[in-house]
């Protein structure tokens, strides 16, 4: 039994915080499913709040890994990337769909957003060693905007929802493009994705 649970025994406190980040993203998607199923109570507000909590866990796991434990898990980097794509990639796209970005072109752009997030994290994983300062051991800068910046989209959608707007009333409204539904608001997801896979250098705090 001990051998079977050896993976769990290898987790550091930072890894557990990373898994808490991923849990927030997963719970967000469950909240969206409940909302679509007809539960109009507090589920959608939980979906807006969970990315903020996920971001807090994301910041905390890095802090704990660097300053508290002084020990970096071999799984840490991969766990962090996988958790981020759940909480800051797939989850915001699902939230956008839940709020009404359901036209064909919306779905295309939401899917592209997720793919850009995956690509950005993969690029970071394979280039982080080259970007690390030999003296400090820290990555000097991000190439492309970090995927947690998608929380800006979540907060924007929360503000519009609070104002009583659904996707039909989001800025740009609803259009028909080549006979298919399209909400110009979904372009913001495409812009966010494009910035993530860009070569813009963002200093790492």
Give a yes or no: residue 1 inside a domain. no
Q: Is 109 exposed, middle or buried (0-12, 13-18, 19+ CB in 10 A)?
A: buried
Neighbours of 63 (CB within 10 A): 11
| Average pLDDT, integer, range 126-137 | 62
The rounded distance, in Å, linking the Cα atoms of 51 and 89 is 10
Asked if the model's pLDDT at residue 111 lies above 70, the reply is yes
Q: Which residues pair with 132 in a beta bridge?
A: 139
In a domain, 84, yes or no: yes
Identify whether 177 is part of a domain.
yes
On whether residue 5 sits in a domain, the answer given is no
CATH code of the domain in which 49 resides: 1.20.120
Q: Could you tell me if residue 112 is inside a domain? A: yes
Tokens read off for 8: 């769990």
In percent, how much of the chain has pLDDT > 70?
82
Which band of pLDDT confidence, cut at 50, 70 and 90, is reported for residue 72? low
In a domain, 3, yes or no: no
Mean pLDDT of the chain: 86
Task: Give the tokens for residue 39.
Answer: 């539960």
Higher pLDDT, residue 97 or 167: 97
For residue 101, the enclosing domain spans: 11-203
Question: Which of 129-133, 171-175, 182-186, 195-199 has the least mean pLDDT?
Answer: 129-133
Q: In Å, how far are 37, 115, 132, 149, 195 from 125, measured between CA atoms? A: 37, 15, 12, 18, 17
- CA dist 110 and 199 (Å) reads 21
Alpha helices in 37-170 (DSSP H): 43-63, 76-85, 91-98, 104-131, 151-162
Tell me the HSE value of 10 on the side-chain side, using a 13 A CA sphere. Answer: 11
Domain tally for the chain? 1
Packing angle between helix 13-36 and helix 91-98, nearest 10 degrees?
20
Q: Are the C-beta atoms of residues 125 and 185 closer than 8 Å to each other?
A: no
Is residue 4 included in any domain, yes or no? no
Kindly state the tokens that stand for 167.
Answer: 């996707």
- pLDDT for residue 1 is more than 50: no
Summarised one tens digit per residue, pLDDT across range 3-42 is 565 666 677 888 889 999 999 999 999 999 999 888 666 7
The model's confidence at residue 75, banded by pLDDT at 50, 70 and 90, is confident
155 belongs to a structural domain: yes
In 3D space, the residue among 124, 106, 104 whose CA is nearest the CA of residue 114 turns out to be 106
Q: What's the mean pLDDT in 77-104?
A: 94
What pTM was estimated for this model as a whole? 0.87
Confidence band of 100 (pLDDT split at 50, 70, 90): very high
| Residue whose entry in the numeric block shows the structure tokens 């909400």 | 183
């Amino acid at each position: 039994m001990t051998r079977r649970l050896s993976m769990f025994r290898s987790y550091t406190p930072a890894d557990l915080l990373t898994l808490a980040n991923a849990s927030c993203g997963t719970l967000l998607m469950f909240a969206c499913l409940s909302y679509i199923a007809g539960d109009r109570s507090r589920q959608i507000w939980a979906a807006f709040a969970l990315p903020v909590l996920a971001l807090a866990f994301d910041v905390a796991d890095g802090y704990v890994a660097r300053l508290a434990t002084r020990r970096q898990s071999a799984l840490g980097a991969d766990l962090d990337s996988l958790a981020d794509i759940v909480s800051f990639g797939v989850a915001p796209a699902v939230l956008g769909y839940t709020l009404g970005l359901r036209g064909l072109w919306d779905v295309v752009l939401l899917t592209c957003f997720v793919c850009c997030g995956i690509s950005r994290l993969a690029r970071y994983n394979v280039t982080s060693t080259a970007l690390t300062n030999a003296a400090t051991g820290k990555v000097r800068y991000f190439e492309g905007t970090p995927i947690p910046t998608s929380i800006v989209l979540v907060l924007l959608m929360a503000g519009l929802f609070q104002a009583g707007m659904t996707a039909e009333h989001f800025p740009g409204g609803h259009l028909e493009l080549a006979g298919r539904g399209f909400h110009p608001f979904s372009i913001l997801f495409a812009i966010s994705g494009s910035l993530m896979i860009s070569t813009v250098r963002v200093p790492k705090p």
